[in-house]
């Protein structure tokens, strides 16, 4: 065997996806994912206890499936990486306990790593070459963040994030209001195709001058997002039609809601890249599947001279491959493993890329 790059097993369980991925260096060998999404449908959102129980049931089969696909056994693995946070506490605990058990049984080094940075780390797979410093925009049911990445393994900075709902969460809640199914993102994306995005002018959260300030004198929320006002505006709009006994123009509301989300996300992300002098933006998270987000972000990045990198969709949503990818970078950079003593951290800050054994 001529290949000496580290083989890393990555475990993800921060929300409703149980993911086990295997990479060799920057090459993805397997990416098995089991989702409990169907079990949450009737509640219209992820129920933490159900997610944790589903991880418990799915872990061993998902691990076996990843090993089978990669045609490897645990003996071939050089290191194990697991999401330690941020995420749902009970869900994280299942993945971390499983990872510790595997590390203990096999004697392999274990890394407890940051889920958000793993979403970015996935960008090095599949032959994509990222510049030394770049930006990332993460948009999913659990997060909406703009990051500046100077080093994937030791320098990630949070430029902005949502102060209330995540973008995907806003999609899910709005879809419920409009009587569309769960998950709401794909349902609104589809409905919006037949609607007029200018039919209603819904609020762009935290876009007023008092929040954004200027480049020289930035406001507190220059790079932050808020979607709760938008959700309320859609609710009032729906109530208005109901009160008048009129049919609710679902497609127009969906298209106008989507435009408000996507307009504010793309304009804030591109402005942050420009102000930080960043020339490459990586997009990640489940909302990266959104047709209009991709279209508007691509157009705005192009006119600002920013290269947009969008990994394949299966790597944008939560998966173990991204955890393995970041783990392999840590191994390659000679970063010390976390040991077996660390605890999960459901609000792990993005600056804490890898836990050390005393944290």
Binding residues for substrate: 138-142, 172, 185, 189, 290
Nearer to Zn ion, 79 or 315 (CB): 315
Q: Is 205 in the site for ligand KG4 (CB under 6 A)?
A: no
Summarize the annotated binding site as residue ranges.
115, 119, 138-142, 172, 185, 189, 290, 318
Q: Is 12 in the site for Zn ion (CB under 5 A)?
A: no
Query: x/- string (CB under 5 A) for Zn ion, residues 230-269?
Result: ----------------------------------------
Kindly list the distances between the CA atom of residue 238 and the CA atoms of 22, 84, 234, in Å, as whole numbers in the listed order.
46, 40, 6
Contact 265, 225 (CB under 8 A): yes
Verify binding: residue 145, Zn ion, rule CB under 5 A: no
Binding of ligand KG4 by 162 (CB under 6 A): no
**Distance from the first to the final alpha carbon of the chain:** 38
Peptide bond before 183: cis, by omega within 30 degrees of 0? yes
Stretch that binds ligand KG4, among 3-11, 94-102, 151-159, 165-173 (CB under 6 A): 165-173
Site string for ligand KG4, 16-55 (x = CB under 6 A): ----------------------------------------
Burial of 135 (0-12, 13-18, 19+ CB in 10 A): buried
Candidate list 59, 111, 134, 171; residue touching ligand KG4; CB under 6 A: 171
Where do runs of H (alpha helix) occur along the chain?
37-40, 48-70, 89-106, 115-121, 167-177, 184-192, 209-212, 228-243, 250-276, 291-304, 313-316, 320-332
CB distance 159 to 223 below 8 Å: yes
Nearer CB in complex with ligand KG4: 304/313: 313
CA 199 from centroid of its chain's CA atoms: 30
Q: How many CA atoms lie within 13 A of 46 on its CB side?
A: 23
Determine, following the binding rule CB under 6 A, whether residue 141 of this chain makes contact with ligand KG4.
yes
| Tokens describing residue 132 | 């030394």
In the list 31, 36, 62, 140, the residue contacting ligand KG4 (rule: CB under 6 A) is: 140
Q: Which residues of the shown chain bind ligand KG4 in the complex (CB under 6 A)?
A: 15, 140-142, 168, 171-172, 183-186, 189, 285-287, 289-290, 317-318
């Amino acid at each position: 065997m001529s290949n000496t790059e580290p083989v890393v097993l990555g475990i993800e369980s921060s929300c409703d996806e149980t993911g086990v991925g295997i990479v060799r260096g920057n090459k993805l060998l397997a990416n098995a994912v089991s989702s409990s999404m169907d079990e949450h449908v009737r509640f219209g959102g992820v129920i933490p206890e159900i997610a944790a129980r589903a991880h418990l049931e799915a872990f061993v089969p998902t691990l076996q499936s990843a090993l089978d696909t990669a045609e490897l056994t645990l003996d071939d693995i050089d290191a194990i990486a697991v999401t330690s946070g941020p995420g749902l506490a009970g869900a994280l605990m299942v993945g971390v306990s499983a990872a510790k058990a595997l590390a203990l049984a096999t004697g392999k080094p274990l890394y407890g790593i940051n889920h958000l940075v793993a979403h970015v780390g996935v960008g090095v797979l599949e032959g994509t070459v990222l510049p030394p410093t770049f930006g990332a925009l993460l948009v999913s049911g659990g997060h909406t963040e703009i990051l500046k990445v100077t080093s994937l393994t030791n320098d990630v900075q949070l430029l902005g994030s949502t102060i209330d709902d995540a973008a995907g969460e806003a999609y899910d809640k709005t879809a419920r209001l409009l009587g569309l199914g769960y998950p709401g993102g794909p349902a609104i994306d589809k409905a919006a195709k037949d609607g007029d995005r200018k039919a209603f002018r819904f609020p762009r959260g935290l876009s007023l001058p008092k929040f954004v300030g200027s480049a020289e004198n930035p406001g507190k929320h220059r790079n932050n997002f808020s979607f709760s006002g938008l959700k309320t505006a859609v609710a009032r709009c729906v109530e208005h039609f109901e009160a008048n006994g009129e049919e609710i123009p679902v497609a127009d509301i969906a298209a106008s809601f989507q435009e408000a989300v996507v307009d504010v996300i793309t304009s804030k992300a591109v402005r942050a890249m420009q102000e930080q002098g960043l020339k490459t933006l990586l997009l990640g998270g489940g909302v990266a599947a959104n047709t209009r987000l991709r279209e508007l972000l691509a157009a705005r990045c192009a006119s600002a001279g920013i290269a947009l990198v969008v990994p394949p969709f299966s790597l944008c949503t939560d998966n173990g491959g991204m955890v393995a990818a970041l783990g392999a970078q840590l191994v390659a950079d000679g970063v010390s493993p976390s040991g077996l003593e660390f605890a999960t951290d459901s609000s792990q800050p993005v600056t804490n890329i890898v836990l050390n054994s005393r944290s």
